[in-house]
Amino acid sequence: MAMVSVEPGRPHRSVNLWELGGSMTDHATRLHQSKMGTARRIVAQLRGAPPDWAPNPMINAATVYTDPARHALERRKIFRETPLVACLSSDLPEPGSYRTFDEAGVPVVIVRGKGGELKGFLNVCRHRGARLVRDAQGKASRFSCWFHAWTFSSDGALVGVPQREGFEACAKERNLVPVPVAERHGLVFVKCSPNSTMDIDAFLGDFAPELAMLELGKAQFVKSELLPVAANWKYALDTYGEGYHFASLHRQTLAPYRHAEVQVYDRWGPHHRITWAAHAMSEWMKQPEQEWDADTLIGWVHFIFPNTILYTGSVKPGKGYYTTFRHFPGEAVGETITYKSIYAPFGAPSAEQRADIEAAFAATAHVVRTEDYIVAAEGWRSLASVHEDGATVIYGRQEVALQHQHRAIAAILDCAPPREVVDGMAAE
Ligand code: FES
Ligand SMILES: [Fe+2]
C-alpha cells in the first residue's frame, strides 16, 4: 500500500502549529509533541540506530488466508463480535442523521437521536423482515417500511401499524432490535451482534489518547470510494502494514518519496501504528529540531483493530488530510472490499484544499488499484492453489506490524498464532 503524503516537487517550510490557528488546544499540543517524538526516533535511525523491527521472523500457515472454515469463523468472531469503525462522527452530523452499515454482512442502521446520542439497530423491519432504511444516509425523525408501512421512531420504537387491529397485542413487542454503537474521539464504532453490549473503552485501552489527539471530531468528509480485490481481507490488509515492498512494487510511485528502511513502530494492545521516513527527512540530520516540519512530513499509519487503517497525511504544510481504509470480507474467502474515505481535518476545506485532498485521494487509489491489489489478487490465488500442500508464508523482522496483527487476530479466534522462527527453527 502506498500513502502519498507530500506533493512532489513542492518546497516545504517548517510549520509551527501555533501559526495555523492561534492558541493550541491540549490535543494539538500533544499532537505536535508526539509527531516530534516520532521525528526524533526517525532521525536517530537515520544516524544509525536500529529500525523498529521484530526480534525474529514469523511463519504462518497459508490456510489462514484460504480456508473457508477459518473465513466463516472470522466473519462471526471478528466482524460480528468485535467493535468495528463504521464512520467518523461528522458523517452523522446532527440529530436525525442516519447511515446504514452493511459492510460486515449484517444490515444495521445508525441514527443520531434528539439529544445527540447514537443508537444502532438491525435494519430489519419487525413485521416480516423487509429492509427498513433503504437510503445509505440521510436525515429523518422516523422510518417507514416501504412494504406495508410499519413505522418506527428514531429511537427504535414501533409507532405506526396500518390496520393495527389485524395484529392485536403482538405489535407491542416489535420495536427495532438494538445493536451496540459508541462514539469515541470522533470515530463511530458498531458491533454487529443484536442485543449485546460493547465496552469500547476497554477495547481501545491505551490507544485512546493516540486517537484523541487527532481531533477526528472536527474532520469533514470530502470523498469516498470502494476498492474491491479478489483476495482474502487479511492479504489486502497486509499490503498496508509493511514498507518492505516500497522499493520493488512501488519503485516508481512511492519509493521516490518515502523509504522503508527507517521505520518507527508502536503498539497498544491489538492496535498499532507505523511510520516510514520521507526522503526529505534526511535533511533533518543537518538541522536543529525547530526546522523540522514534522507536522507535515510525519505520516502516521494507525491500525485500529481489526480492519481499519487511519492514515494522517499532508499534501503540504498546514494542509493535512485523514484517510480511512476499512477492509471487509465478502462471503467467499477470496473476496474483499476496501471502503476508502478521505477527510479534511479541521472543518470544511477551502476549494484549494479540497482540490489538493482530492489529488492525494486519486494518487493513492491509483497505486492501490494498479499495484497493491494486483499483487494481492495474484498472491492470494497462488496461496489458494497450494494451501493443501502445507504452504506457509513468512513475515520478516521488518514486517513487524504483520506479525502483530496476525497474532492479535489469532488470539481473538483462539487459533494457532504465527510461530516465531529462532535460529532457523520455528517455535511450536
Ligand atoms: S415487512 Fe415492513 S411493514 Fe411489512
Ligand atoms: Fe503498497
Residue 48 lies in a domain: yes
Domain stops at, among 197, 217, 237: 197
Residue 11 lies in a domain: no
Candidate of 123, 128, 176 to mutate for ligand 1, largest count of ligand atoms within 8 Å of Cβ: 128
The C-alpha cell 503498539 sits at 267
Q: What is the pLDDT of residue 301?
A: 96
Indicate whether 273 and 377 sit together in one domain.
Answer: yes
Q: What is the pLDDT of residue 13?
A: 31
Ligand 1 atom nearest to CA at 132 = 2
| Dihedral, 53, 211, 201, 269 alpha carbons, nearest 10 | 0
Q: What is the CATH number of the domain that holds 404?
A: 3.90.380.10
Candidate of 144, 150, 174 to mutate for ligand 1, largest count of ligand atoms within 8 Å of Cβ: 150
Q: pLDDT digits over 8-33, tens only?
A: 223 233 333 323 333 467 888 999 99
Residue 101 lies in a domain: yes
Q: How far is the CA of 272 from the centre of ligand 1 (A)?
A: 44
Q: How far is the CA of 1 from the centre of ligand 2 (A)?
A: 2
Indicate whether 155 and 22 sit together in one domain.
Answer: no
Q: How far is the CA of 53 from the centre of ligand 2 (A)?
A: 18
The number of beta carbons lying within 10 Å of the beta carbon of residue 235 is 25
Indicate whether 192 and 211 sit together in one domain.
Answer: no
**Pairing assessment for the beta strands 419-422 and 271-278 based on DSSP bridges:** unpaired
- Structurally, the chain folds into a number of domains equal to 2
Task: Provide the 3-class DSSP secondary structure of residue 395.
Answer: strand
Q: How large is the ipTM?
A: 0.97
Ligand 1 binding pocket includes 147 (Cβ within 6 Å): yes
Q: What is the pLDDT of residue 409?
A: 98
Ligand 1 atom nearest to CA at 130 = 1
Ligand 1 binding pocket includes 150 (Cβ within 6 Å): yes
Residue 193 lies in a domain: yes
Q: Take atom 3 of ligand 1 and give the residue whose Cα is closest.
A: 148
Domain stops at, among 197, 231, 250: 197
- The three cell numbers of residue 331 are 462471503
Calpha distance 182→199 (Å, rounded): 9
Q: How far is the CA of 151 from the centre of ligand 1 (A)?
A: 9
Indicate whether 24 and 134 sit together in one domain.
Answer: no
Residue 7 lies in a domain: no
Indicate whether 106 and 149 sit together in one domain.
Answer: yes
Indicate whether 216 and 187 sit together in one domain.
Answer: no
Q: What is the pLDDT of residue 314?
A: 75
Candidate of 125, 159, 175 to mutate for ligand 1, largest count of ligand atoms within 8 Å of Cβ: 125
Q: Are 307 and 293 in contact (CB under 8 A)?
A: no
- Stretches in the chain below the pLDDT threshold 50: 2-23
Ligand 1 binding pocket includes 292 (Cβ within 6 Å): no
Domain that holds residue 363: 17-65+207-422
Calpha distance 344→219 (Å, rounded): 5
Q: What is the pLDDT of residue 4?
A: 38
Q: Which ligand is nearest to the CA of 3?
A: 2
Residue 76 lies in a domain: no
Residue 304 lies in a domain: yes
Give the 3-state DSSP-derived string for the chain, with helices as H, strands as E and coil as C.
CCCCCCCCCCCCCCCCHHHHHCCCCHHHHHHHHHHHHHHHHHHHHHCCCCCCCCCCCEEEECHHHHCHHHHHHHHHHCCCCCCEEEEEHHHCCCCCEEEEECCCCCCEEEEECCCCCEEEEECECCCCCCECCCCCEEECCEEECCCCCCEEECCCCEEECCCHHHCHHHHHHCCCCEECEEEECCEEEECCCCCCCCCHHHHHHHHHHHHHCCCHHHCEEEEEEEEEECCCHHHHHHCCCCCCCCCCCCCCCCCCCEEEEEEEEEEECCEEEEEEEEHHHHHHHHCCHHHCCHHHHCCEEEEECCCEEEEEEEEECCEEEEEEEEEEECCCCCCEEEEEEEEECCCCCCHHHHHHHHHHHHHHHHHHHHHHHHHHHHHHHHHHHHHHHCCEEEECCCCHHHHHHHHHHHHHHCCCCCEEEECCEECC
Indicate whether 191 and 218 sit together in one domain.
Answer: no
Candidate of 142, 147, 164, 174 to mutate for ligand 1, largest count of ligand atoms within 8 Å of Cβ: 147
Burial class (CB in 10 A: 0-12, 13-18, 19+), 244: middle
Ligand 1 binding pocket includes 127 (Cβ within 6 Å): yes
Q: How far is the CA of 119 from the centre of ligand 1 (A)?
A: 21
Q: What is the pLDDT of residue 315?
A: 62
Indicate whether 328 and 351 sit together in one domain.
Answer: yes
Indicate whether 282 and 340 sit together in one domain.
Answer: yes
| Dihedral, 345, 312, 188, 327 alpha carbons, nearest 10 | 140
Indicate whether 186 and 214 sit together in one domain.
Answer: no
Domain stops at, among 197, 222, 249: 197
Residue 6 lies in a domain: no
Q: What is the CATH number of the domain that holds 92?
A: 2.102.10.10
Indicate whether 255 and 215 sit together in one domain.
Answer: yes
Indicate whether 190 and 248 sit together in one domain.
Answer: no
Q: Take atom 4 of ligand 1 and give the residue whose Cα is closest.
A: 148
Calpha distance 395→400 (Å, rounded): 7
Ligand 1 binding pocket includes 143 (Cβ within 6 Å): no
Q: How far is the CA of 366 from the centre of ligand 2 (A)?
A: 11
Q: Which ligand is nearest to the CA of 372?
A: 2
Ligand 1 binding pocket includes 148 (Cβ within 6 Å): yes
Q: What is the pLDDT of residue 15?
A: 32
Q: How far is the CA of 194 from the centre of ligand 1 (A)?
A: 19
